[in-house]
Amino acid sequence: MTAADAPGVAARRLALDVLARIEDDGAYANLALRTALDRSDLVDVDRRMVTDLVAGTERRRRALDHLVDRFLTSDPPPAGRRALRLGAYQLAYRDDLPDYAVVSSTVAAAPKRFRGLVNAVLRQVATTPRTFPSPGIELSYPDWVVERLTTDLGESTALDALAAMNVAPSAHRRDDGYTQDLASQWVATAVEAGPGDRVLAVCAAPGGKATAIASSGAVVVAAELGAARVPLVAAAAARYGHGSTFAVRADGLHPAVRPGSFDRVLVDAPCSGLGVLRRRPDARWRIAADAPDRLGALQTQLVEAAVPLVRPGGLLVFSVCTLTVAESTAVDDRLAERHPELAPLPALGEPWLPWGRGSMLLPQAADTDGMVVFRYRVPVGSSATSPVESGP
């Protein structure tokens, strides 16, 4: 047996390949991982190892650079740095793996010209106490994310949320077999649809919440703008739509729907995704710092466009999978100003927390994604929603 055939080397080599696809080619971590695993003949235990190594190394990138940079005198080329990060991840965050095995398998998986460097640096990382100069470096997030959530949630809640989102999520399956986080299932339940209700799900792809709502017996129109994403909704509707989910391509900003047509409207708006970072290991490095403000403005427009579609007495629900003020209470503040007739429903119960006139689910509360939801009753007789004649 050569060193390259030693246990775990193939898994580490594949992990390095996937990390290269993410960092050099801009591939999305989850997609690059799936593609690589589909093509590989690794056994299950190695597949799980690759998945964890890629996700963990990508997520902890900033912390890992800090750990290895203490022992570098110059910046190594990307392939060398990747191997150093991969090894440091295992040393610092995989207590189940013995240090000597981590060093030898990572060195063997590294490109030949970096093996000496990787060996020398990893040995030092293994034996030197690990300290971090700031929470942003220790938790491995861009500073703007730490600062934004600290401002919006308070320091200890923000840091707990960020720590919770460093742990990979466990999968939850609905009764009908669709894999969906509990937070999303609870948002669908919060729409309170029942048999025969007409529900519009605006911003519907890939169709998780729309099909969950349909399981109540409601008829759901699942509207999505992205042309490439509508087929995802159609596929989910065909398989999990309970025969009453209909995918359509539509712009939520300009809905071609007669006012007052729906008993319930859910606007599950595009957002910065700062509540679902545990699901996408590379997302924290991709999200632009101006995303919360930019998307908060779009969310306001989408929610406002949805108000007239709800029948008098019906329910409007606005949800996002993020935790920022700009994308939650700030949107609600503008809505309250422009639509004082909308009556907010009481906050959802535990594990949700009251958040302004809505509810927030923190990722550390119940091992779920982080979400915010606002629910409003459209009053009977509201002028904004009176049915209009559709013409002769």
State the nearest-atom distance from the C-beta of 208 to ligand SAM, in Å: 3
Rounded distance between C-alpha atoms, residue 153 and residue 67, angstroms = 29
Query: From start to end of the chain, where are the E strands?
Result: 198-202, 219-224, 245-249, 262-268, 310-320, 343-344, 353-355, 358-361, 371-377
State the nearest-atom distance from the C-beta of 323 to ligand SAM, in Å: 14
In the chain, % helix, strand, coil (3-state, to 5) comes to 50, 15, 40
Name the residue with tokens 């632009």: 288
State the nearest-atom distance from the C-beta of 213 to ligand SAM, in Å: 9
Cβ proximity to ligand SAM, 58 vs 224, nearer residue: 224
According to DSSP H, which parts of 27-179 are helical?
Answer: 29-39, 44-59, 61-69, 78-93, 99-109, 115-127, 135-139, 143-153, 155-164
Half-sphere exposure of 254 (CA within 13 A, CB side): 2
Cβ proximity to ligand SAM, 102 vs 204, nearer residue: 204
Cβ proximity to ligand SAM, 58 vs 369, nearer residue: 369
Rounded distance between C-alpha atoms, residue 29 and residue 280, angstroms = 7
- Show the tokens assigned to 158: 């923000």
Cβ proximity to ligand SAM, 88 vs 221, nearer residue: 221
State the nearest-atom distance from the C-beta of 65 to ligand SAM, in Å: 31
Cβ proximity to ligand SAM, 104 vs 215, nearer residue: 215
Looking at the annotation, which residues are catalytic? Answer: 321
Backbone angles phi, psi at 354, to 5 degrees: -60, 135
233: three-class secondary structure by DSSP:
helix
State the nearest-atom distance from the C-beta of 210 to ligand SAM, in Å: 7
Rounded distance between C-alpha atoms, residue 53 and residue 11, angstroms = 9
The closest alpha carbon to 318, from 262, 260, 358, belongs to 358
Cβ contacts of 304 within 8 Å, gap of 6 or more:
335, 338, 339
State the nearest-atom distance from the C-beta of 250 to ligand SAM, in Å: 6
39: three-class secondary structure by DSSP:
helix
30: three-class secondary structure by DSSP:
helix
Cβ proximity to ligand SAM, 226 vs 379, nearer residue: 226
How far, CA to CA in Å, does 351 sit from each of 134, 317, 354, 358? 30, 19, 10, 13
Helix axes 61-69, 44-59, angle to 10 degrees: 80
Q: Write out the residues near ligand SAM by the rule CB under 6 A.
A: 184, 202-209, 223-226, 229, 251-253, 268, 270
Cβ proximity to ligand SAM, 229 vs 242, nearer residue: 229
